[in-house]
Amino acid sequence: MYHSVCNLSDLKPNVPVTFEVDDRFVLVTLIDGEVYCIDDVCTHDGGTLGEGEVDGNCIACPRHGAKFDLRSGDALCMPATEPTCSHDVKVDSGTVLVQLRD
């Protein structure tokens, strides 16, 4: 089931925005004209990624510096070794819709 989170025009390139979808916090980011969604959770120790520093497609966890790809959720450096979950996104008539994966 897709959930409406925002308007596409609300997103600025490479600036993640945190939304709560079904009691789960996710980061939605516009990158190179595509919208991506990953969990707002670091897989190292559960830190919140949303306040982290962004460098291109990557966000650094503010707690211990693990980096994640904002498009895929892949862990890019230690201390995280597991990806954070990515979710399905579609844009319909200018509205960004997110479907959670497990």
Binding site for ligand FES (CB under 6 A): 42, 44-45, 47, 61, 63-66, 79-80
| Phi and psi at residue 10, to the nearest 5° | -80, -20
Tokens of 2: 């897709």
**Residue 89 CB, nearest approach to ligand FES (Å):** 23
Record the tokens describing residue 41, joined without a space.
């959770």
* Closest among 34, 14, 17, 35 to 26, alpha carbons compared: 17
Q: Which CB atom, from 10 or from 51, has the smaller least distance to ligand FES?
A: 51
Which is closer to ligand FES, CB of 2 or CB of 25?
A: 25
Nearer to ligand FES, 38 or 80 (CB): 80
Q: How far is the CB of 26 from ligand FES (least distance, A)?
A: 16
Shortest spacing between CB 59 and ligand FES, in angstroms: 10
At closest approach, how far in Å is the CB of 43 from ligand FES? 8
If the CB atoms of residues 45 and 55 are measured against ligand FES, the closer one turns out to be 45
86 close to 37: Cβ distance less than 8 angstroms: yes
Sequence-separated (6 or more) residues with CB below 8 Å from residue 58: 67, 68, 69, 70, 76
